[in-house]
Amino acid sequence: MKRSGFLLAVACLLGLSHAALAQKQGGTLRVTHRDNPPSASILEEATISTDMPFMAVFNNLVVFDPASPVNRLDKVVPDLATSWAWTDDDRTLTFKLHHGVKWHDGQPFTSADVKCTWDMLTGKVQGKLRKNPRKTWWFNIKDVVTDGDDTVIFHLYDPQPSIMAMFAGGFSPVYPCHVPANEMRTHPIGTGPFKFESFKQNESIRLVRNPDYWKPGKPYLDAIEYTIIPNRSTMVLAMAAGKFDLSFTSDLTPELTKSLMEQVPTMQCVLQPTNTQGNLLVNRERPPFDNEQIRKAMVLSIDRKAFSDILSQGVFQVGGANMPPPEGFWGWSKEYMETVAGYGADVEKSREQGRAIMKALGYGPDNMLQLKVTTRNIPDYRDAAVILIDHLKSIYIQAELEPLDSSVWYARLARKDFSVAMNVQGTGIDDPDVQFFENFLCGSERNYTSYCNADLEKLFHKQSQMKDIDARRKLVWDIDKKLQEDGARPVVFHAEAGTCWWPRVHGINIAKNSIYNHWRFEDVWLDR
């Protein structure tokens, strides 16, 4: 027994040392990029186009464990912070910081940089950021104070355990205080494993190894090169031809992922939720949609499975506001979903109820309600809107498609200048706080439908303060159910897409419930 235990230990050690030795230093990782990022400043953008290529330039205070396949609160590990501690009232969070970390320009990293970053994000310092898309994430931060160079303290208005998830997200890097915000948009400076080298508009992004990285021995790669290939067909061919090592995250539709795997059987591919959902926006301030009954009938007309089948051959998932399981942690279970109005398996029965409502309101086959379905004029939005128009016909609504140029789309949403719209939106983190406060809080900038329910809002805050994860999840399900049944922003589908890489790339670990994290590449190496 002793002998076998010894052998096992030796075998494990050999295995571990082999794994450690196997990591090869050097090489340039070639990655495709789907489009031209609006800027290099992660804090100012809300798109994966900026987050993925520039995440490796930075560090966070904490990160989701890069080795874990899920991004969850219990998987948060230190990054620039060595440790953190909450006070007993859960309103003060203290981070101890790594000593001796330097920015890429040689300046020392201190607690002042952390304070400066969150003062910008909470809006306490005006004019530094041109845009601040995630201001709502930090609504609960009262102030940030430093205690020497290596300690930073966050004072919160209320307890909020899930704020750690927001600190750990790829969208929350620490910025240097001494670098102007406009320079961060064109030439970012970070503490991360890779230094920014160049960003050629519509052409490429190149990062090079930071030889002074504060994590000894890392990173393994010499450089990372992103080539911007907007044409998906060209990108797939380029991947198949081996010109690139890794595809841009979730850039491949389920069908393309399948096709690429058939073309190159050794290709490693992962299909995962893209943290984006299609949802129906109904302007409840504009007649006749101020009538709750019409909104309810519209919800009952939706056949979510049909959306999934048509748009993705059944790959897209059905759920509420939160990402559905198994990937999502906060989404409804299948059994619970059956109890939500409009989510039952019998779509025809739901539509019959919808038709009865519409008939009671005076509509029918000879007197259909005429409306426009507004949407953004790009395929992801437009295709879903066309299906929606078809479904609305089943409850006596004759809709016309109104596709809008991207430049007009958000402006119209902000002005509430629409009656019914088909929207596709992303969420940075699989966490109810992000979802609820960003999209459903009374008066939130992103609350496009102006849904406002004071009682529910109290529950938003209640769930946010809960430490017991199971109890919180139960409450989150109930909140989500109420949101869907109220037609606050009926969710139609949760999208999925693929990421592929050649077997020569090692150390890629994709989080199954987020496309926005795990792109620091400090553990990635090439075996060419």
Partner 1 sequence: MIQYTLRRLGLMAVTLFGVSVAIFVLLRIVPGNIADILFDSAGMIDPAEKQQIVKDLGLDLPLVTQYAHWIGGLLHGDLGYSYVSEKPVLDEILPRIPITARLAGLALLFAICTGVPFGVISAVRQNSWLDYLLRVVSLAALSMPSFWLGLLVLMAFVNWLGLLPIYDKAPATTGAAILMYCVPAATVGLRSSALIMRLTRSSMLEVLRQDYVRTARSKGLSEAAVTFTHALRNAMLPVITVIGIETAFLFGGLIVTETVFNIPGVARFLVEAIRWRDYPMVQNLVMFIAIVVVSVNLIVDLAYMLVDPRIRLRT
CB atoms within 10 A of CB 312: 18
Separation between Cα atoms, residue 323 and residue 427, nearest integer Å? 10
Q: Pattern of binders to partner 1 over 170-209, x per CB under 8 A?
A: ------------x--xx------------xxxxxx-----
Regarding 325 and contact with partner 1 (CB under 8 A), the answer is no
- Relative to beta strand 420-426, strand 505-506 is unpaired
Residues 28 to 57: which contact partner 1 by CB under 8 A? 30, 36, 38-39, 44-47, 49
Sign of CA dihedral 468, 473, 476, 481: negative
DSSP state string for 457-489: HHHHHHHHH---HHHHHHHHHHHHHHHHHTTSS
CB nearer partner 1, residue 204 or residue 268:
204
Contact between 251 and partner 1 per CB under 8 A:
no
Residue 110 Cβ, how far from partner 1 at the closest point, in Å? 28
Contact between 230 and partner 1 (CB under 8 A)?
Answer: yes
Return the DSSP state at 24. Answer: P
Question: If you compute the radius of gyration of the chain from its CA atoms, what whole number of angstroms results?
Answer: 24
Q: Which is nearer to partner 1, 108 or 230 (CB)?
A: 230
3-state secondary structure (DSSP) of residue 193: coil
Is residue 421 within 8 A of residue 281, CB to CB? The reply is: yes
DSSP secondary-structure letter at 138?
G
Using CB under 8 A, pick the residue from 79, 113, 150, 225 that binds partner 1: 225
Closest CB to partner 1 among 96 and 131? 131
223 binds partner 1 (CB under 8 A): no
Binding mask 55-94 for partner 1 (x = CB under 8 A): ----------------------------------------
According to the binding rule CB under 8 A, does residue 378 interact with partner 1?
Answer: no
Residue 130, interface with partner 1 (CB under 8 A)?
Answer: yes
Q: In what order do the strands lie in the sheet with 92-97?
A: 81-86, 92-97, 151-156, 141-146
Q: Is 489 in the site for partner 1 (CB under 8 A)?
A: no
Q: Is 6 in the site for partner 1 (CB under 8 A)?
A: no
Smaller CB separation from partner 1, 203 or 255: 203
Please state, in angstroms and rounded to a whole number, the distance separating the CA atoms of residues 355 and 363: 9
Do the Cβ atoms of 449 and 280 come closer than 8 Å?
A: no
Q: What is the Cα–Cα distance from 190 to 196, expressed in whole angstroms?
A: 9
Sole window of 124-132, 382-390, 459-467, 503-511 interacting with partner 1 (rule: CB under 8 A)? 124-132
Site for partner 1, rule CB under 8 A: 30, 36, 38-39, 44-47, 49, 127, 130-133, 135, 182, 185-186, 199-204, 225, 227-231, 233-234, 237-238, 240-244, 405-411, 413-414, 425-426, 445-446
